[in-house]
Structures are given as C-alpha cells and as structure tokens.
C-alpha cells in the first residue's frame, strides 16, 4: 500500500499495464518526454522507452485514428486527448471508428483502446478544457464510459479499461487529480467496469452521482445529517454500462432519489438514470427523482464557474424538495 493522489494512481495503473503487457502503448500530445501536461504519464517514457510511450503531432483525429489502426494489429493503445473539449476533433475516430469496429467487422476486428482525457470544473481553466462531455459518449453505442472519483477506483478502473477488449472513454476530473491521497495497492488489482459503489450509507434519500460531484454530494449528506436526514450516496463510477441494480436496491430502501451531475441539465447521465429508475423502481418512489446539474448554458467563463457548478446548498435544497414532496 502507498499513499497516492488520483493522478499518481492513474500513472501507476499505466505503469502496471505497460509492464505486464508488451502490447500496451501510450501516446498523445506531450505525454512522452515531459510526462503530460498534468504529469500523469511522468517517468513512463524513461522506464519503457520511446516505442512504448511517445509524443505525437498535434492532431486529435490522427491520434484517434492511430489508436484504431494499432488496435487492429494486436496493440492495446492508451490514447490521451489533452483536454476534453478537443475530443470534438477526434469524435469520428472515437465514437464512430473505434466504437463500431467490432460490430462492423462481425467480431473480426476490435478496438481495445482507452481514450484518456481530463475534464471537469472548478480549476479556472481556459475555454473548452473542463466541459462535461460524457453525455455524448453514453449516447454512442459501442464505447464504455468510466469516470473515477478517487485514487483507488481510478487505478483499478483504468487497469480494467486497459484490459477491456472494447473501447473505453476514461474521463479524469481535473479537480480530483491532486485533491487528496488514499491508500492504493502498489501491485495490480481491478475495479470492475459497470459496477457502482455506495460511498455513504443512508436510509431517507439516495443521491446518485459521479466524478467531483461525489464529494460535493457527500458534503451535502454531512449537512443533511445535521438535520437528521440520512442520505445514501452512490458513486456510479461507470456511466456506460450503468449499474441500475445498485441504484434500484438503494431506492427500494430510501424511496426517494436525486441525481447530481456537473454537466448541464439536458446532457450528462442524469436523464438516463432517471428513465431507468422509472422503468425499474417507480412503485418504490414516494416522490419524483430530481436533478441537480449545471444550467443549460455553454460552460461558464472562469469568473462565474463557482456559482454555476452544482453546490452543497443546491443539493441540500433538492433533497429537501423530494423529502417534502
């Protein structure tokens, strides 16, 4: 066991896999020599060499296409897109070419690729660095979507993603890279893709969330506790495929739920979570499932980011609304 922040845990996952499997290769803009703009790949080129870990020209579509081509030849590429907003340049390769490779070829080829990208607000970054674009991915058949919220999960989920024989969009929240340290095993372990986790047990209301909002929701649960309200917090960890069983089990206990996401209200994963709750647990609900989300604007200018992002106060208010329904 070692104390690691999420960035270090992510780096450790890649180190473990680069060491274990010679087909794993890692590339992107500035990931080699300097180890990435967040140093998430620091030291890996030095340890594994330039044929395993390398810099590319500045072109996201080609990074995606390189990964797809390499994937057909037995490699397991980890392709980094420097910031989330730049995935638009690579959407065809990520969401069309990689996501459909197995299907189009009837299983002859597959795309065992991890597309890593940082995202997420609260760091006063420049335009198009922090948008929550997971909703685009979950609406794309053929690609899995993973968003860890802590160092332990990040390492275990990334190892699972690298070993998965289908493409995974792995989104790393900028505000969590250095937020805190956790005990993380130094050897290899996996956290299964498609499994949510109850991070705080409660009996009055279920808060379903992911990414940075897991932490905001736990803080809100602490606030609610002061008023005698017991909130259960579920960290989805994987948005596609969604672990509806864990959600339903919680709602059967609490009978009330809200979904908290950083993405705008009509994007992200909240609407799909609520639709599935309606299909599977409506008879257990005492109130409608509400959403706490960013407003449906373009991602805010840095100066207004804190007011825009879902807050503890907005989560508490939403919980009170479902409790008083």
User: What is the smallest separation between the CB atom of 228 and other proteins, expressed in angstroms?
Assistant: 36
With binding defined as CB under 8 A, does residue 102 bind other proteins?
Answer: yes
Residue 191 to residue 124: CA distance in whole angstroms: 31
With binding defined as CB under 8 A, does residue 142 bind other proteins?
Answer: yes
Count of chain residues binding other proteins (CB under 8 A): 42
Residue 238 to residue 166: CA distance in whole angstroms: 14
Residue with tokens 């299983």: 107
Helices (H), the chain: 6-20, 44-48, 60-72, 91, 99-104, 134-138, 151-163, 212-226, 244-254, 270-281, 305-308, 312-323
User: What is the smallest separation between the CB atom of 257 and other proteins, expressed in angstroms?
Assistant: 19
257 near 289, Cβ under 8 Å?
A: yes
With binding defined as CB under 8 A, does residue 70 bind other proteins?
Answer: yes
Q: At what angle do helices 312-323 and 212-226 cross, to 10 degrees?
A: 60
With binding defined as CB under 8 A, does residue 69 bind other proteins?
Answer: yes
The residue from 123, 181, 194, 321 that contacts other proteins (CB under 8 A) is: 194
Nearest Cα residue to 42 out of 5, 68, 69: 5
With binding defined as CB under 8 A, does residue 110 bind other proteins?
Answer: yes
With binding defined as CB under 8 A, does residue 190 bind other proteins?
Answer: no
The residue from 71, 120, 122, 156 that contacts other proteins (CB under 8 A) is: 71
Tokens of 155: 């390492």
115 near 67, Cβ under 8 Å?
A: yes
The residue from 53, 67, 220, 231 that contacts other proteins (CB under 8 A) is: 67
Residue 276 to residue 270: CA distance in whole angstroms: 10
Site pattern 24..53 for other proteins (x: CB under 8 A): -x-------------------------x--
> Who contacts 216 (Cβ-Cβ below 8 Å, separation ≥6)?
209, 260, 310, 311, 312, 315
Establish how many alpha carbons lie within 13 A of residue 271's alpha carbon, considering only the half-sphere containing its beta carbon: 11
Q: Name the segment binding other proteins (CB under 8 A); options: 30-38, 106-114, 146-154, 210-218.
A: 106-114
User: Where in 163-182 is the site for other proteins (CB under 8 A)?
Assistant: 164-166
User: Where in 234-253 is the site for other proteins (CB under 8 A)?
Assistant: 241-242, 244-245
With binding defined as CB under 8 A, does residue 139 bind other proteins?
Answer: no
Q: Name the segment binding other proteins (CB under 8 A); options: 63-71, 118-126, 255-263, 314-322.
A: 63-71
With binding defined as CB under 8 A, does residue 141 bind other proteins?
Answer: yes
**Helices and strands (H and E) in the chain: how many:** 12, 14
What residues are labeled active site? 129
Binding-site ranges for other proteins (CB under 8 A): 25, 51, 56-57, 59, 61-62, 64-75, 92-93, 96-97, 102-110, 141-142, 164-166, 194, 241-242, 244-245
């Amino acid at each position: 066991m070692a104390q690691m922040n999420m960035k270090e845990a992510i780096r450790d996952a890649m180190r473990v896999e680069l060491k274990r499997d010679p087909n794993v290769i890692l590339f992107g803009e500035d990931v080699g020599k300097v180890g990435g703009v967040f140093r998430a790949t620091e030291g890996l080129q030095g340890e594994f060499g330039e044929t395993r870990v390398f810099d590319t020209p500045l072109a996201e579509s080609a990074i995606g296409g390189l990964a797809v081509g390499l994937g057909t030849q037995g490699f397991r590429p980890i392709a980094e897109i420097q910031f989330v907003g730049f995935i638009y340049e690579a959407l065809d390769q990520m969401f069309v070419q990689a996501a459909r490779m197995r299907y189009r070829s009837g299983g002859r080829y597959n795309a065992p690729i991890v597309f890593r990208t940082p995202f997420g607000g609260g760091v006063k970054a420049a335009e198009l660095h922090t948008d929550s674009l997971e909703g685009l991915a979950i609406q794309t058949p053929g690609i899995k979507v993973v968003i860890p919220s802590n160092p332990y999960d990040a390492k275990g989920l990334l190892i699972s993603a690298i070993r998965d024989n289908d493409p995974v969009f792995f989104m790393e929240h900028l505000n969590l890279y250095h937020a805190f340290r956790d005990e993380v095993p130094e050897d290899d372990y996996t956290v299964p893709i498609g499994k949510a986790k109850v991070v705080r047990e409660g009996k009055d209301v279920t808060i379903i969330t992911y990414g940075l909002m897991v932490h905001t929701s736990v803080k809100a649960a602490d606030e609610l506790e002061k008023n005698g309200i017991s909130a259960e917090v579920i960290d989805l960890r994987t948005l596609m495929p969604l672990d509806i069983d864990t959600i339903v089990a919680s709602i059967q206990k609490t009978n009330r739920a809200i979904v908290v996401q950083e993405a705008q209200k009509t994007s992200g994963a909240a609407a799909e979570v609520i639709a599935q709750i309606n299909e599977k647990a409506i008879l257990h609900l005492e109130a409608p499932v509400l959403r706490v989300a960013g407003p449906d604007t373009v991602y805010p200018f840095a100066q207004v980011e804190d007011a825009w992002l879902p807050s503890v106060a907005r989560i508490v208010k939403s919980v009170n609304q479902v409790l008083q329904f």
